[in-house]
């Protein structure tokens, strides 16, 4: 059991016996670059907001550039993305972070 005094903003609660929440060492995300000066490549580390988490996550790999509307692959392993582009990227959080797959939940 956990005391109410031990619960803080950003804590994640889950069932420890049935599909417990785990921290992600890395995760794959679909991102759309809305307004950014210049180009974004691997190594860039923007601050990501996911639920109450506010954590810098590094672009480890640009997997593919996709069409914003259809989701079809336009370019595999692009060197960079720019404003208006959508992409599938591998992100590595700088601090422990709990994320879950949209398809699973």
> Model confidence over 23-32: pLDDT tens digits?
999 999 999 9
CB 35 within 8 A of CB 53: no
pLDDT at 71: 92
CB 97 within 8 A of CB 84: no
For the chain, the C-alpha Rg in angstroms (whole number) is 16
Which class is 23-93 in CATH? mainly beta
* 13 pLDDT higher than 90: no
pLDDT at 101: 84
* 3-state SS, residue 4: helix
> pTM to 2 decimals?
0.83
pLDDT at 104: 80
> Model confidence over 72-86: pLDDT tens digits?
999 999 999 999 999
């Amino acid at each position: 059991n956990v005391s109410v005094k031990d619960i803080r903003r950003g804590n994640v609660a889950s069932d420890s016996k049935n599909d417990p929440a785990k921290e992600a060492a890395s995760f794959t995300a679909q991102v759309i670059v809305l307004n950014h000066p210049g180009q974004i490549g691997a190594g860039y580390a923007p601050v990501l907001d996911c639920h109450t988490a506010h954590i810098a996550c590094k672009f480890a790999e640009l997997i593919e550039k996709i069409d914003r509307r259809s989701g079809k692959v336009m370019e595999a392993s692009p060197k960079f993305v720019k404003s208006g582009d959508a992409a599938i990227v591998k992100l590595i959080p700088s601090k422990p972070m709990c994320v879950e797959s949209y398809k699973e939940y």
